[in-house]
Amino acid sequence: MTPVQLHETVEQIRTQVRRVLLGQEEVVDHALVAILARGHVLIEGVPGLGKTLLVRVLASVLGCNHKRIQFTPDLMPSDVTGGNVFNQRLGAFEFIEGPVFTQLLLADEINRAPAKTQSALLEAMQEGSVTADGQTRSLPRPFFVMATQNPIESQGTYPLPEAQLDRFLLKIGVGHPERDVEKQILRNHLSGFNPAALENAGLERVVTDTQIVEMQDALGEVNLSEDMLEYVTDIVTRSRAHRSVLLGASPRGSIALVTAARAKAAIEGREFVIPDDVKSLAPAVLRHRIILQPDAEFEGMSPDTCIEEILSEARVPKSAA
Amino acid sequence: MSLPLALVAASLGVMLGNPYYDDYDEFDEPDPVEAPAVLDDDAYGFCHDPEYPLLFEERDWCALVEEGSERCPAFAEVCAGDREASLAGTPGRLSKRTASKSETPTERGRGGGPRRSEQPEPAEIEVPALGGIGQILFWIIIIGAVIALIAAIASNRGPSRPDEDDELPPDPGDDPDVRRAEAARLSMETDVSRLLAMARDAAARQEFTLAVDLGHAALLRRLDHEDLIRLHRGRTNGDYVRDLRGKTEFFGPVRDALRSIDRAQFSDEAPTRGTFDGILSRVESIVRKAGPLIILLGIFGLACDSIAPKEYPWRYSPSGNQGIIDLLEELDVTAGYRGTSLEPLGDEEPDFSVDRVRALVMLADADASAEEWEGIERWVSDHGGTLIIAGGALPPWLAGVRYDDQFSSKDPITVSENATVHAWVPQLSVPPSRFVSGPGWTELERDGRRYGIGVSRGMGRVYVLADDSLFTNASLAVGDNGLFLGQWLESAANGGRVELVDAWAQAGADDPLESVSNSHLTPAILQLMALILVLYLWRGRHFGKPRDPTPPSRQSFVLHARAMGQQYGRARASHHAAKAYSLWVLDRLRDQFPLAARNGLSGIAAALSRRSGRDETDVMRLLVEAHSAMSGATDGSPEEELKLIRDLGRLLRESRGNV
């Protein structure tokens, strides 16, 4: 698939998603970047902003199956991955697949489950496979996890461990829609739109799962110049040396930034990465990979402001300034 | 030259052996026709600009101005216009007669800013009358600045000069050092036309990568110069395009051009001649589009400049004295304002150079210290100088001379029969004035009283005039004032220099050290030198070398803990703290006394009382309070809750628990 074809396909996907999901263009774009880059997305936002709807719409448009897990404190790892159950009729253990065996997985309120259960997703997200009782089973391709966490409630939640956070390609903050968008949402609601019955929304399937894999493979054709490599390295290195940062982005963060930038370039129909790709995705890629100094947090510094400083200090390749 | 004057001068010169009066024998007969036409210069706006605003005190001249005078044609119209300048815009208009010595003049002429007018200020640079060392330093600084400027221009022009002998710039390739150096070079050049020329040169050398980078820089610099974008090394082309949102004439073309540039810079295809030409045409079209904006801005600026009221400096106003200096220069007499102290005048060795001060005109606002008066006295007595005090402070050694407060009418001034300076009869006119009285002969008369007197002192003479109206620019436009002054001062100069003394004379310094001393900067400079010495001792000679800034240190944990405590305090968190601590203490006590805890708080209290020896009732009361706090049933003050926490902590320690 050429970059131009990929761009046209993505445009069709955007158009279809926009018919149902309003005012979340950035989230949709980031989700598409993550899907193409074989990554996963962690969305932080209050309930009611259309996160579940986004997954269902994407599944519908991308021709993928999807499942949703509501994470709770008593959720067990086997509830996610599945497990061997004795089949009396066959007289043998039979593996019952958990909800992780899907193409688009919505892990809702992932921080409500303890770390043990959260970690059940680690192998699935990184390797695309699940190991149970010594047997490894591959997950269907494409495999995309969209996890959400609620930023307001802190009681009864378990913050995601760094290892788990590092598995997410992007972390996106979802805000409330604009006033006009909100009015349009209300109009749609009054005109009978029911998010639970998406089949009535007239969404068209734009691609097949096979084509998505082709699109993912097409990223290998996107060129990343030496200057861009220097730029990415500069940004990640600065994230480690920043005065407010306790732990900077890992090499996995550099790889994630490069991969995401290539996906963004491909979505834009380019066969090469430009600084804008890197700069626009750096906050989403790095914000959950940076741990701030306690005192910096106390001073009101957030990962986003820290990354903003880093990006303003890093010299853009071919800059005339 | 008139016979009496020649006789007086000759007799004085011979009798006193004064060599400076030898030339009086050749004193020419004054030309009665006309004084030099110094007021023809457009700088004297009151003679050429009918809109020229006059000060209140300057209107006194209007009664004396002849209509249709060729010497100062617009003065009559100016008087008829009856305009007055606003005081706010022209502080120099403050009456020189009322200006106190404590007022610090901001412009020569006892004033501040220039008055508004439509005439531009003539471009004239006057070298201040500094002392010898001051002159040398002044010229060293000027020459050094010029050399530095030329060197800067030459170095700036260097890269754009085509020179076949120059080595071609290295191909950046994959070497990051070379790339950084190239980026630094690009970031230093800011001239758009030069960047475009460099781009074309690079393209001519087949270096299309560099050429595209230069074209890119030219485009961004142009947009930055017009404040359409904010150029910064951390900003991308996307950021610049977003800056142009809302500027429809630039948004589309710039976005397209930057897309082409992105492709040339970051794709794996090396830019070609066609790529560069396409980019250059896009860039040039944008640059051309932006050009008219700059021209329009320039035209607007010029228009604003042309409609803005122009200003005349005070010294060219009717109250100014520049005309006297110009008049003397027309007569080949060197003249100027005195910029340094008067005291050294009496100590100078006599000579015959044209720079030697032979006549001193002390204007109304001039004053001198006792030491300076002494120096002037020696200069007059011993060196034969001519001192003219025009309405200003009188020297202590000129006993008996004083000004009378009674004012004259508008009648003209006549030259006395006893006058030493003229034998002809000029028509002198100035506004109503005071009179002078005291010993000495009468030089000038008005209303039958003395307007100016003359006193011999040693080898020289002292003249005291009632005011300095004669020495103003307006005076030159009236009657024979200009002719009279020219002849008088020329004869007084006697081949030397005439200096006007005003309030600024004391403002100058003879050398840089005196200048520093006068400005009271000596302590500051000494401190600065001490600081430099300390820095030198501390850092050695490299203390000035640029260094990376020290990273800001973190605040200590204590500060954070204190700030956190304050936040807790603001949030009234004592209730929550008491609740949580009570819960924790009761849990610990239940762990320590599991058997007693089966009987509830009373069992724990009994066990604690036995172990600690405290009164059981007291322990029970504390435990009940803790239980109430734990369940949130109490609403005590922060002090009470803090006391509970402390009591519980003590109880826990007494129970040998670990706090």
The tens digit of pLDDT for each residue in A40-73 reads: 999 887 778 887 788 888 888 888 888 888 888 8
**What's the sign of the alpha-carbon dihedral A251, A255, A261, A264?**
negative
Task: Residue window 224-283, chain A: list those with CB within 8 Å of chain B.
Answer: 225-228, 230, 243, 270-276, 279-280
Candidates B633, B538, B535; CA nearest to B579 is: B633
- Helix pair angle (A3-20, A209-218), 10° resolution: 130
Q: Is residue B410 within 8 Å of B385, Cβ to Cβ?
A: no
Mean confidence (pLDDT) of chain B: 75
Which pLDDT score, from 0 to 100, does residue B463 have? 93
Cβ separation of A228 and B234 shorter than 8 Å?
no
| Candidate ranges A188-202, B19-33, B140-154, B406-420; pick with highest mean pLDDT | B140-154
Q: Which amino acid does the sequence have at B448?
A: G
**What's the sign of the alpha-carbon dihedral B205, B211, B214, B218?**
positive
Paired residues of B403 in beta bridges: B436
Concatenating the DSSP letter of every residue in B185-246 gives HHHH---HHHHHHHHHHHHHTT-HHHHHHHHHHHHHHHHHHTTSS---TT--HHHHHHHTTT
Spatial separation of the C-alpha atoms in residues A31 and A44, rounded to whole Å: 13
Residue B429 has pLDDT above 80, yes or no: yes
Mutate: best of B214, B220, B236, partner A, most A CBs <10 A: B236
Query: Taking the CA atoms of chain A, what radius of gyration do you get in angstroms?
Result: 20
Where is B387: in which H helix or E strand? strand B386-390
Q: Which amino acid does the sequence have at B209?
A: T
* CA distance to A279, B383, B557, B579, per residue, from B569 (Å): 41, 86, 18, 15
Q: Residue A280: its chain B contacts at CB < 8 A?
A: 238
Q: Residue B217: its chain A contacts at CB < 8 A?
A: 320
End-to-end CA distance of chain B: give it in Å, rounded: 116
Q: Residue A317: its chain B contacts at CB < 8 A?
A: 265-266
Residues in contact with B137: Cβ distance below 8 Å, sequence separation at least 6, in sequence order: B512
Q: Which structure tokens are listed for B286?
A: 């944008």
Surface-to-core class of residue B616, CB atoms within 10 Å of its CB (0-12 exposed, 13-18 middle, 19+ buried): middle
Q: Could you check whether the bond before residue A142 is cis, i.e. omega within 30 degrees of 0?
A: yes
Which pLDDT score, from 0 to 100, does residue B227 have? 80
Residue B4 has pLDDT above 60, yes or no: no
Which pLDDT score, from 0 to 100, does residue B555 have? 60
Which pLDDT score, from 0 to 100, does residue B422 have? 60
Which pLDDT score, from 0 to 100, does residue A249 have? 87
Q: Residue B560: its chain A contacts at CB < 8 A?
A: 294-295, 298
What is the DSSP-derived secondary structure letter of residue B116?
Answer: E
A223 interfaces chain B, CB cutoff of 8 Å = yes
The CA dihedral of B270, B275, B276, B279, to the nearest 10 degrees, is: -130
Among A227, A280, A313, select the one facing B234 at the smallest CB separation.
Answer: A313
Name the region of B547 (left: φ>0; alpha: ψ -120 to 50; beta: rest): beta
* CA distance to A182, B49, B270, per residue, from B207 (Å): 54, 61, 10
Residue B36 has pLDDT above 80, yes or no: no
Which pLDDT score, from 0 to 100, does residue B26 have? 41
Cβ separation of A314 and B560 shorter than 8 Å?
no
Tell me the per-residue pLDDT of B437-468, one tens digit each, with 9 for 90 and over. Answer: 888 888 888 888 889 999 998 889 999 999 88
Q: Is residue A25 within 8 Å of A162, Cβ to Cβ?
A: no
Q: Which structure tokens are listed for A111?
A: 């921080």
Cβ separation of A314 and B234 shorter than 8 Å?
yes
Cβ separation of A319 and B263 shorter than 8 Å?
no
Q: Which amino acid does the sequence have at B110?
A: R
Cβ separation of A271 and B267 shorter than 8 Å?
yes
Paired residues of B388 in beta bridges: B361, B463
Spatial separation of the C-alpha atoms in residues B65 and B75, rounded to whole Å: 7
Chain A, chain B: beta-carbon pairs less than 8 Å apart? 93
The owner of tokens 């120059």 is B166
Mutate: best of A245, A274, A310, partner B, most B CBs <10 A: A274
Among A243, A319, A320, select the one facing B551 at the smallest CB separation.
Answer: A243
Q: Is residue B421 within 8 Å of B5, Cβ to Cβ?
A: yes
Q: Is residue A55 within 8 Å of A66, Cβ to Cβ?
A: yes
Candidates B400, B476, B469; CA nearest to B437 is: B400
Cβ separation of B183 and A226 shorter than 8 Å?
no
Tell me the per-residue pLDDT of B542-600, one tens digit each, with 9 for 90 and over. Answer: 655 566 666 655 566 777 777 777 777 777 677 888 888 888 888 888 888 888 888 88
Residues in contact with B327: Cβ distance below 8 Å, sequence separation at least 6, in sequence order: B35, B36, B38, B476, B482, B485, B486
**Mean pLDDT confidence for B87-100:** 38
Cβ separation of B266 and A227 shorter than 8 Å?
yes
Which pLDDT score, from 0 to 100, does residue B292 have? 59
- Coil vs helix vs strand at B563: helix
A3 interfaces chain B, CB cutoff of 8 Å = no
Which pLDDT score, from 0 to 100, does residue B352 have? 64
Q: Is residue B210 within 8 Å of B271, Cβ to Cβ?
A: no
Among A294, A317, A320, select the one facing B231 at the smallest CB separation.
Answer: A320
Q: Is residue B275 within 8 Å of B208, Cβ to Cβ?
A: yes
Task: Residue window 147-206, chain A: list those with CB within 8 Å of chain B.
Answer: none
Q: Residue B179: its chain A contacts at CB < 8 A?
A: 227, 230
Among A274, A280, A321, select the one facing B266 at the smallest CB separation.
Answer: A274
- Residues of chain A falling short of pLDDT 70: 152-156
Residue B276 has pLDDT above 80, yes or no: yes
Q: Is residue B412 within 8 Å of B382, Cβ to Cβ?
A: no
Residue B20 has pLDDT above 50, yes or no: no
B555 interfaces chain A, CB cutoff of 8 Å = yes
Rounded to a whole number of angstroms, the distance from the CA of A242 to the nearest CA of chain B is 10
Cβ separation of A272 and B564 shorter than 8 Å?
no
Predicted model pTM:
0.49
A294 interfaces chain B, CB cutoff of 8 Å = yes
Cβ separation of B268 and A225 shorter than 8 Å?
yes
* Bridge pairing between strands A129-132 and A135-138: antiparallel
Spatial separation of the C-alpha atoms in residues B242 and B264, rounded to whole Å: 21
Which pLDDT score, from 0 to 100, does residue B105 have? 42
Surface-to-core class of residue A1, CB atoms within 10 Å of its CB (0-12 exposed, 13-18 middle, 19+ buried): middle
Instruction: For A228, name the nearest residue in chain B, comparing CA atoms only.
Output: B266
Which pLDDT score, from 0 to 100, does residue B162 have? 43
Rounded to a whole number of angstroms, the distance from the CA of A227 to the nearest CA of chain B is 8
Tell me the per-residue pLDDT of B537-548, one tens digit each, with 9 for 90 and over. Answer: 777 666 555 666
The owner of tokens 């007055």 is B84
* CA distance to B65, B72, B200, per residue, from B470 (Å): 14, 16, 67
Cβ separation of B265 and A230 shorter than 8 Å?
no
Cβ separation of A317 and B238 shorter than 8 Å?
no
- Coil vs helix vs strand at B12: helix
Spatial separation of the C-alpha atoms in residues A234 and A237, rounded to whole Å: 5
B564 interfaces chain A, CB cutoff of 8 Å = yes
**What's the sign of the alpha-carbon dihedral B314, B316, B317, B323?**
positive
B560 interfaces chain A, CB cutoff of 8 Å = yes
B332 interfaces chain A, CB cutoff of 8 Å = no
Cβ separation of B267 and A319 shorter than 8 Å?
no
Q: Which amino acid does the sequence have at A51?
A: K
Tell me the per-residue pLDDT of B166-190, one tens digit each, with 9 for 90 and over. Answer: 444 444 455 555 655 665 565 567 7
Which pLDDT score, from 0 to 100, does residue A218 have? 85
**Mean pLDDT confidence for B85-114:** 42
Residues in contact with A51: Cβ distance below 8 Å, sequence separation at least 6, in sequence order: A43, A45, A106, A108, A146, A148, A174
Cβ separation of B268 and A223 shorter than 8 Å?
yes
ipTM of the complex: 0.83
Instruction: For A271, name the nearest residue in chain B, comparing CA atoms only.
Output: B267
Spatial separation of the C-alpha atoms in residues B343 and B501, rounded to whole Å: 13
**Mean pLDDT confidence for B421-439:** 81
Candidates B501, B474, B482; CA nearest to B364 is: B501
Q: Is residue A111 within 8 Å of A148, Cβ to Cβ?
A: no
Rounded to a whole number of angstroms, the distance from the CA of A236 to the nearest CA of chain B is 15
Q: Is residue B471 within 8 Å of B390, Cβ to Cβ?
A: yes
Tell me the per-residue pLDDT of B107-155, one tens digit each, with 9 for 90 and over. Answer: 555 444 555 544 445 455 555 566 677 778 888 888 998 898 888 777 6
B206 interfaces chain A, CB cutoff of 8 Å = no
